[in-house]
Amino acid sequence: MIRHAKLIAAKDLRIEVSSKVLTAQILPFGVLVLVLFGFGIPPDRRVLGTDTDVSRSLLEQAAPGLFWLAVLFSALLAINRSFAIESADGNLDALRLAGFDPGGVFLGKSLAVAAELIVLELVVGLGAFLLYGPPLNDVVLLVATVTLTTGALAFAGILYGALGAGSRLRDTLVPLLVLPVLAPVLLAATRATESALFGPSSDGWAWVGFLGAFSLLYLGAGILSFGSLLEES
């Protein structure tokens, strides 16, 4: 399974590098969403932080949620793209006939999407710090949050993306399937990121634990059920 996962991940990443979809479409989309969110919030509005002596701009306070919304919307493009390259020319049938382990296919495609999301998060995160100017309180908590949220987005996205892979309505069906499932991830990631940026850090680790449990749940579900989903695609 691990060997097949490496092969699938390498194949998907080679395709993305050669097609330049990530750099030409997904990254600009994520940055554009971030900028447009910033236009929708008055920069001169200020709110009190957790410490009543600290006043922050509303845009700065909203930065964690806006960042993860931009990442989530961009992740939908990456997930759709992951199955679009398999739907062409009967590639899903070829994977089944080639004897690839279904769990390996799930892991490989999840790893490829996760790698794309990491690049996206680095670019969008840099844009968020430049545009919104939030502080940074706990680097370790922030790294843990980003890592586990990336896994949760990739595992759940690929699992539910497989449900709509064989449908002609895939482009609109996958967001309808994925977004409700990832709503708790968006909430947990936002709360954990708020703690990493503004403190106290202790409040964020409970949300990190939730993200870890969610990632493990969908990792296990994907490995166990991906074979059946491929057969129905």
Predicted TM-score (pTM) of the model is 0.87
CA distance 91 to 56: 51
Rounding to the nearest 10 degrees, give the CA dihedral for residues 13, 16, 20, 21.
Answer: -130
Nearest to 184 by CA among 160, 215, 143, 225: 215
Are 51 and 137 contacting, i.e. CB atoms less than 8 angstroms apart?
A: no
In SS3 terms, the chain reads as: CHHHHHHHHHHHHHHHHHHCHHHHHHHHHHHHHHHHHHHCCCCCCEEECCCCCCEEEHHHHCHHHHHHHHHHHHHHHHHHHHHHHHHHHHHHHHHHHCCCCHHHHHHHHHHHHHHHHHHHHHHHHHHHHHHHCCCCCCHHHHHHHHHHHHHHHHHHHHHHHHHCCCCCCHHHHHHHHHHHHHHHHHHHHHHHHHHHHHCCCHHHHHHHHHHHHHHHHHHHHHHHHHHHHHHHC
Find the mean pLDDT for residues 174-201: 90
Residue indicated by tokens 């896994």: 151
Find the mean pLDDT for residues 101-127: 91
CA distance 127 to 74: 14
Q: Is the pLDDT of residue 99 over 80?
A: no
Q: What is the pLDDT of residue 219?
A: 94
Find the mean pLDDT for residues 143-154: 95
Domain ranges of the chain: 2-232
pLDDT tens, residue by residue, 40-93: 776 666 655 555 445 567 778 888 999 999 999 999 988 888 877 777 666 777
